[in-house]
Structure 1
């Protein structure tokens, strides 16, 4: 199990690097688009779509890294006022619910991606991008998010992580 958790953490970290690279690439393409459009007075065909797809992909692919680092927005007022046992049960319930949500959305986005692949969908713009390419970020990101959610649940069940990361006098 330790190898699984380490592997998932490594994969989530890699997803974070990919997401950061996609955002950086988007910035470069926007600068190129501005230069081509205003300095060279030429049309831009693919840049807007490319940047949109990259930013959406960065969101999906970067989500496992955000979960791993606890970078998401959360409200932990209730767990702070709960007894340790109740806090643990709440954390297990929340982690189980999160895992179920991630599995459901990962399966649905895979089906969506597969439909784009099978039907050879292309974008409605002049670029005519094959949509299975940008859509692949959804099942990939949510698949790794599911694995990260499972790793978090396993860490919680085995006591490797404290519920909501709250340290009490009893656990110190």
Structure 2
């Protein structure tokens, strides 16, 4: 917000618009949005529709939760592959040498490359969280299956 306020003041108050405000704001918003997924997953604050789960027995609920976790890992792997390709292409020239993709604007900073790296890291974090949840789920399931 401060970047946008600064831009408005500079543009309309002083007649001196910035070259960097729009790109910086886009990078910051995209990064915060991308990192919001792993944060929501880590704090268990993501949107959940539990109508079906709440109607099932504990054993069936456990199996459905496990299926959901496995599908989550598969989703992260698929999206992660696409994010890897995008991040690699944003950080390497066609000949394989290191270079960062830039915006092509008058400021021409490598924020598009950084954004793609943040997306890749976010997806990797979510995949790791899903795998940890599977391990935790297995421990909880073994407690459920233990004779009483």
**TM-score, length-normalised on structure 1?**
0.73
2:96 aligns to what?
A: none
| Residue 10 (structure 2) aligned to one of 25, 36, 42 | 36
What is the CA distance between 1:62 and its match in structure 2? 2.5
- Structure 1: 5+ residue runs without aligned partners? 1-26, 163-172
| Residue 69 (structure 1) aligned to one of 12, 32, 43 | 43
| Residue 143 (structure 1) aligned to one of 118, 121, 124 | 124
2:52 aligns to what?
A: 78
Q: Structure 1: which 4+ aligned runs deviate by more than 3 Å?
A: none
| Residue 59 (structure 1) aligned to one of 33, 36, 39 | 33
> Is 1:124 matched with 2:104?
yes
Partners in 1 of 2:90 and 2:57 — Cα distance?
A: 49
After superposition, the C-alpha distances for 1:18-40 in whole angstroms (9 at most, x for unaligned) are: xxxxxxxxx12112111111111
Q: Which has the larger radius of gyration?
A: 2
Confirm or deny: 8 A CA contact 1:117 1:132 kept in the other structure.
Answer: yes
| Residue 89 (structure 1) aligned to one of 54, 60, 63 | 63
> Is 1:104 matched with 2:78?
yes
Equivalent residue pairs, number = 135
Confirm or deny: 8 A CA contact 1:110 1:138 kept in the other structure.
Answer: no
What is the CA distance between 1:44 and its match in structure 2? 1.9
Partners in 1 of 2:115 and 2:42 — Cα distance?
A: 24
**TM-score, length-normalised on structure 2?**
0.84
- Structure 2: 5+ residue runs without aligned partners? 94-98, 144-148
